[in-house]
């Protein structure tokens, strides 16, 4: 059995059959050990547990738990109300609010589906009742939530930093401007759409209302201040920031807002534990697959094959973007990052791309993949939450896929957008 078949064809066959991704990776690793690699089968549990023995990985369960607490404890609702009070009165204010709220809540909750659920449930009825058709509404919600993959502190960035052996703090910093660029691009599109469709205006912003919502949301907004201020102020590491986020959000929701009772914590913890277990079992199984793939010499062979094609750097990057976009429409970001980073990083480094910049390129691709038909995770989450026909969601997200692919190309070919805050122009 050829190595190429085991490492690349077999996983595709197993996914088509319908096996979960962690089982696909474990069975592929077992097949590689039996038929290709000269290593004992005991390597599987060794490298599975070894993949989890990583201090930065501790940030993942903490951030997931913090996101669940915020969504259930009233923080998300107050953030949305605050944004509405500020933006109200401009054309498309409610749609722009959806984009801005997703950016803010994505920076606090760190999960795409969590952002879709929290922001979507709050704004879906208002969008529908204020002149936006169902197709546009579900497309906007599904696509806006994906920014959580890019905007720091992102779980996907943490996983990439582990796999690529890069600084999580540098990745967070590099992700700031690209995530804002995507938000501005989406906001500009919905602004123009609202004017063309003559969507009715909301009541104009009033200082009294802004002041009241700001007071009410001040503790919620403080979550971002605590996380970013602590990380960039050098008070704590990104991993420690995740733990602080849990304590802070728990304090705000139980003591200040009093919307999360202690009896509700069990449900919140169970929801978080379910999502955490999904992520960590993928991390563990991908650890074995990545190790076998790396030691097989396959990445070096792929680099040599790409070099033999004599493509120019921009052509190589375009090809990799298309590969990542396709992978992102089938795989969740954690799985795609853990599987593809060992394969693609040597290729982009060979053509002169900074590993930090490539981390941003990968994150943007995978965020678009979350709402790219047919299998983007946000599509099914939106379908489950709002009970809208999946074909309607597909049509709704297509303009956002095209728009954000164009923004992806700008981010790819203008490295300064990602690197300028690091003091690097390329």
**C-alpha triplet 13, 16, 19: angle, nearest 5°:** 95
16 and 68 in a single domain? The answer is: no
Same domain flag for 340 and 295 = yes
| Structure confidence at residue 5 (pLDDT) | 84
Q: What is the pLDDT of residue 368?
A: 92
Residues 290 and 394 in one domain: yes
| Overall average pLDDT of the 389-409 stretch | 92
Specify whether 11 is located in the same domain as 112.
no
Is the CB of residue 120 less than 8 Å from the CB of residue 141? yes
Same domain, 137 and 18: no
* pLDDT of amino acid 263: 82
**Phi and psi dihedrals of 33, rounded to 5?**
-70, -40
Gap between the Cα atoms of 169 and 134, Å rounded: 39
13 and 116 share one domain: no
My answer on whether 66 and 196 are in the same domain is: yes
Co-location of 29 and 47 in the same domain: no
User: What was the pLDDT predicted at 170?
Assistant: 92
Q: What is the mean pLDDT of residues 379-395?
A: 84
User: Where is average pLDDT lowest: 48-52, 89-93, 164-168?
Assistant: 89-93
Q: Are residues 175 and 293 in the same domain?
A: yes
In terms of residue numbers, what domain contains 29?
1-41
Q: What is the pLDDT of residue 413?
A: 95
* Dist CA 314 CA 333 (whole Å): 24
Q: What angle do CA 204, 208, 210 make, to 5 degrees?
A: 70
CB neighbours (10 Å) of residue 384? 12
Question: How many domains in the chain?
Answer: 2
Residues 238 and 153 in one domain: yes
Q: Are 2 and 100 found together in one domain? A: no
Q: Which residue has the higher pLDDT, 389 or 330?
A: 389
Q: Is 373 helix (H, G, I), strand (E, B) or coil?
A: coil
- Residue 218 shares a structural domain with residue 324: yes
């Amino acid at each position: 059995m050829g190595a190429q078949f085991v490492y690349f064809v077999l996983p595709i066959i197993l996914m088509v059959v319908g096996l979960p991704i962690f089982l696909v990776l474990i069975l592929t690793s077992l097949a590689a050990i039996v038929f290709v690699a000269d290593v004992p089968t005991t390597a599987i549990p060794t490298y599975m547990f070894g993949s989890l023995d990583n201090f930065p990985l501790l940030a993942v369960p903490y951030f997931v738990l913090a996101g669940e607490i915020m969504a259930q404890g009233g923080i998300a609702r107050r953030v949305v109300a605050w944004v509405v009070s500020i933006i109200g009165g401009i054309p498309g204010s409610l749609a722009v609010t959806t984009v801005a709220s997703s950016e803010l809540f994505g920076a606090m909750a760190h999960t795409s589906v969590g952002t879709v659920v929290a922001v979507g449930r709050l704004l879906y009825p208002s969008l529908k009742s204020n002149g936006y058709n169902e197709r546009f509404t579900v497309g906007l919600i599904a696509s806006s939530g994906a920014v959580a993959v890019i905007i720091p502190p992102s779980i996907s960035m943490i996983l990439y930093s582990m796999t690529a052996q890069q600084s999580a703090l540098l990745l967070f910093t590099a992700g700031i401007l690209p995530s804002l660029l995507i938000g501005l691009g989406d906001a500009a599109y919905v602004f123009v759409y609202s004017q063309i469709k003559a969507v009715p205006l909301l009541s104009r912003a009033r200082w009294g209302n802004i002041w009241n919502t700001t007071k009410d949301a001040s503790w919620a907004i403080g979550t971002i201040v605590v996380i970013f201020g602590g990380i960039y102020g050098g008070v704590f590491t990104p991993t420690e920031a995740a733990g602080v986020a849990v304590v802070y959000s728990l304090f705000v929701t139980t003591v200040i807002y009093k919307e999360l009772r202690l009896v509700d914590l069990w449900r919140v913890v169970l929801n978080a534990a379910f999502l955490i277990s999904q992520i960590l079992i993928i991390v563990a199984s991908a650890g074995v697959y990545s190790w076998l793939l790396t030691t097989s010499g396959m990445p070096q062979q792929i680099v040599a094959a790409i070099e033999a094609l004599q493509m120019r750097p921009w052509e190589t990057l375009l090809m990799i973007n298309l590969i990542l976009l396709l992978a992102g429409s089938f795989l969740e970001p954690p799985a795609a990052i853990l599987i593809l980073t060992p394969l693609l990083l040597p290729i982009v480094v060979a053509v002169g791309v900074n590993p930090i910049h490539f981390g941003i390129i990968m994150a943007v691709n995978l965020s678009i993949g979350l709402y790219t038909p047919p299998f983007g995770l946000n599509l099914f989450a939106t379908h489950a939450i709002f009970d809208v026909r999946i074909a309607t969601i597909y049509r709704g997200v297509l303009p956002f896929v095209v728009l954000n692919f164009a923004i992806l190309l700008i981010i790819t070919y203008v490295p300064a957008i990602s690197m300028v805050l690091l003091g690097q122009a390329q």
